[in-house]
Every structure is written in C-alpha cells, then in structure tokens.
C-alpha cells in the first residue's frame, strides 16, 4: 500500500493514463514509473545517473569446499574490477555507470590501490559451518560502513554488487534462517559445482544450519552466517533508501542482503527495484519472500551487480516516460471516446 495520500495517487494515475497511449499499453513500465514516482515523492521522478558499488569479502566456509573456485579468486577479482576487466565493468561502461570497489573483508594483506575503498572489517569471516561467521561488533561495523556508503551516494539510482568465494553458501544460509525454508531448498551450483560438489555443498550447509534455531532475526543471521560484503550491502541498501535513492537489487546474494535490510528497516523496501531473476536455485524463493517481481530473467547467475546494471535502461526509460512523454492534452491528440473502453 502506498504511503502517499490519495490525492498524490490520483494525480499519479492520471499522469500515467493521460499519456498518448491506450490505457495500460506500456504494461509493467507503467508500474515501474509509478514506483519511481513514489520513491521520490514526485510526479517527475529523476533517473539520469546511476552508480555501481561492488563489495568484496571472503568467507571461512570457502576452505571447506563449498565452491568450485579457490578463495584467492576473491582477491584476484578485486584486481580485475579495479582494472576494468570484469563483466560488471563492461556493462557499466556501456551504460555510462560509475563503478566503485569496496574491500569489506578480503582475506590476506591489505590491497593497495588508489581507487579501492578500504572498509575492511577483518580479513575474511570465520568458518560458519563450525562457528559464527563474525562477532556482534564486526557485524555492526559492516552494517554501519554500508549505511555510510548508501547515504553518501551521489547518483539518482544505485546498484550494489558483490564478490566473495563462498557467498552463495552464505546467502543460502541467511535466506533459510529468515524464510524458515530448509537450506537444501536454497542451495545451487554457485560458481559451477558439478553434481558431487553440489551434494557436498548441501551437506556442509545443512550441518551449518543445524548449529542454530530454524528461524533467526536478520542481525543474528548475518552474524552467524553472513559475509562482510553481504552485511555491508544490506546497510548500503538501507542508507540509500533513507535518502530516497532508487535501489536496483541484483541477484541471489543481493536478494539475501535485501531480505536482511527489509527485516532491519522495513520502510527501505519501498525504494527497491528488483533487477532480474537469477538462475541460482534459491533466488526464486528469495523473490517470493520479498513479494518481488524482477524486471528481467536472462538465466544469469554471475553476481557483481550485472543484473542490476542491465535493468537500469528500463528504469531510466520508465522515468522518462512519466517526465517527458506527451499527454493527450499537450499533444492535441484525441483520447478514447467517451463511454468506449480503450
């Protein structure tokens, strides 16, 4: 239900219906345009600029074999992001979107690069299969760093991506504890596990899930099973929503962060646009829990914010429709005849 008064909703619907088109002819673009108007509280929503922030962090679970890739890949991919070589960089460059990279908790020595934003909470989490991934203080610090990043964003819309070997396992456990679903229903191949690897991953995550009660609040789920990049992304979503930014939510791991953000600060969900439906097994369940209808379904499961980036042109077009498209009145075009269904 909209938080805006009936007068605003009436004017918004009239603005959409009064454009030079049959009623409802632009389908979900009209729904998207209305959501943008509500996010910003105006009939002329602004969607001219967009940024991507990629949060990187390592997971102790990676050492147990939950991923097809070694943990060092997190660090290597951070270098790839910083030199512009990843898919997220290429999509962002094509769409004129700025990219920032945050070290939320990459294992190993500090990464020295002038473009890297250093918000390292610790060099990777503990092994959540055996013990809590982080302490209360570490979890709060990650959330607070994220809040700051979200609140200080300078663009109309924000996309948040992630990198962290093992983080589909973390997302599966977080989602299971917030939705009361069995973790096995949320486990997918992640970076490309074969059948044996997937069976091993499922067994390890079921062991991890058995450490704690079946349902946890968001703060506890993040502390027990989260990654610093996931907690920081959840905080960034909340911070950006507080500033009435358009938050384009990416795939499975971003979806788990969104679940946490909505549980911690329920009002933030009103600012969320769901970019795509990931091919990762658990994402459909997460979207159901969020009551979300993503804009795209491209069989992608990369992360990095790539799905959110590809949704940006639709967001931009929906805002332009509401702001710039002529009305029947302004264009001198006759509307539907009285008493005739459009």
Q: Which residues are catalytic?
A: 304
What would the two tokens of residue 262 be?
Answer: 């909505």
Measure the CA–CA gap between 293 and 290, rounded to whole angstroms: 9
Phi (first) and psi of residue 138, to 5 degrees: -65, -40
- Cα 147 versus chain centre, distance: 14
Phi (first) and psi of residue 10, to 5 degrees: -65, -45
Q: Edge-to-edge strand order for the sheet containing 50-57?
A: 116-118, 98-105, 50-57, 157-163, 246-249, 272-274
Which among 196, 75, 65, 218 is positioned nearest to 127, based on CA atoms? 65
Measure the CA–CA gap between 1 and 191, rounded to whole angstroms: 38
Phi (first) and psi of residue 245, to 5 degrees: -80, 155
What would the two tokens of residue 323 be?
Answer: 């702001």
What would the two tokens of residue 163 be?
Answer: 């990198």
Measure the CA–CA gap between 37 and 3, rounded to whole angstroms: 12
- In sequence order, the 6+-apart residues with CB closer than 8 A to the CB of 309 are 52, 88, 91, 92, 95, 97, 159, 275
Q: Write out the DSSP string of 17-47.
A: HTBSS-TTTTTHHHHHHHHHHHHHTSSS---
What would the two tokens of residue 5 be?
Answer: 């008064």
Quick check: 186 and 281 in contact, CB under 8 A?
yes
What would the two tokens of residue 321 be?
Answer: 């429709």
């Amino acid at each position: 239900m909209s938080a805006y008064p009936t007068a605003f909703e009436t004017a918004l619907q009239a603005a959409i219906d009064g454009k030079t088109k049959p009623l409802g002819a632009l389908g979900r673009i009209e729904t998207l345009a209305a959501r943008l108007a509500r996010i910003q509280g105006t009939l002329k929503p602004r969607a001219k600029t967009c940024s991507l922030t990629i949060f990187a962090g390592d997971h102790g679970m990676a050492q147990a074999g939950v991923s097809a890739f070694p943990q060092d890949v997190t660090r290597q991919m951070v270098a790839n992001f910083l030199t512009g070589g990843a898919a997220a960089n290429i999509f962002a460059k094509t769409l004129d979107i700025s990219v920032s990279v945050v070290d939320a908790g990459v294992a190993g020595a500090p990464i020295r690069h002038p473009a890297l934003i250093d918000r390292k909470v610790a060099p990777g989490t503990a092994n959540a299969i055996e013990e809590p991934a982080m302490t209360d203080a570490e979890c709060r610090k990650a959330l607070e760093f994220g809040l700051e990043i979200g609140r200080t964003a300078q663009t109309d819309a924000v996309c948040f991506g992630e990198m962290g070997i093992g983080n589909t396992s973390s997302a599966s456990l977080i989602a299971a504890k917030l939705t009361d679903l069995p973790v096995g229903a949320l486990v997918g191949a992640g970076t490309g596990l074969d059948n044996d690897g997937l069976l091993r991953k499922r067994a390890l995550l079921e062991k991890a899930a058995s450490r704690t009660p079946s349902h946890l609040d968001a703060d506890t789920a993040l502390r027990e099973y989260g990654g610093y990049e996931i907690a920081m992304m959840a905080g960034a979503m909340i911070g950006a929503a507080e500033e009435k930014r358009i938050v384009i939510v990416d795939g499975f791991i971003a979806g788990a962060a969104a679940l946490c953000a909505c549980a911690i600060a329920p009002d933030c969900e009103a600012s969320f646009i769901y970019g795509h439906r990931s091919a990762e097994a658990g994402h459909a369940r997460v979207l159901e829990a969020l009551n979300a209808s993503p804009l795209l379904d491209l069989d992608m499961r990369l992360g990095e914010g790539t799905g959110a980036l590809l949704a940006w042109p639709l967001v931009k077009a929906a805002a332009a429709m509401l702001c710039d498209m002529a009305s029947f009145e302004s264009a001198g075009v006759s509307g539907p005849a009285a008493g005739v269904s459009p």
